[in-house]
Amino acid sequence: MISSTASAQIFKGVFPALVTPFVGGEVDEDAFVKLVERQIAAGVHGLVPVGTTGETATLSHDEHRRVVASCVKITAGRVPVIAGAGSNSTAEAIELVAHAKAAGAQAALVVTPYYNRPSQEGLYHHYRAINEAVDLPVLIYNVPSRTSVDIANETLARLAVLPNIVGVKDATGDLARASLQRLTCGPDWVMLSGDDPTALGYMAHGGHGCVSVTANVAPAACAALFDACAAGDWSAALALQDKLVRLHKALFLDASPAPTKFALAHLGLCAPDVRLPITPCAEAVKAEIIAAMTQAGATA
Q: Which residues fall within 8 angstroms of residue 284, CB to CB, at 6 or more apart?
A: none
| Rounded distance between C-alpha atoms, residue 7 and residue 175, angstroms | 22
124, 127, 141, 202: the catalytic one is 141
> Which candidate, 103, 99, 151, places its Cα nearest to that of 127?
151
Cα torsion angle, 81, 210, 288, 236, sign: negative
Cα angle 76-82-85, degrees, rounded to a multiple of 5? 125
Contacts of 231 (CB under 8 A, 6+ apart): none
Question: With contact defined as beta carbons under 8 Å apart, do 248 and 51 qualify?
Answer: no
Q: What is the 3-state secondary structure (H, E, C) of 114-135?
A: CCCCCCHHHHHHHHHHHHHHCC
141 is catalytic: yes
CA 24 to each of CA 27, 28, 57: distance values in angstroms, whole numbers, following the listed order: 8, 9, 18
Candidates 21, 185, 15, 153; CA nearest to 84 is 15
Q: Phi and psi for 164 in degrees, rounded to 5?
A: -100, -5
The answer to whether 171 and 145 are in contact (CB under 8 A) is yes
The C-alpha atoms of residue 275 and residue 60 are separated, in whole angstroms, by 12
Distance between CA 34 and CA 47 in Å, rounded? 13
Measured in whole angstroms, how far is the alpha carbon of residue 65 from the centre of its chain? 17
Catalytic residue among 12, 101, 169, 286: 169
124 among known catalytic residues: no
Q: Which residues are catalytic?
A: 141, 169
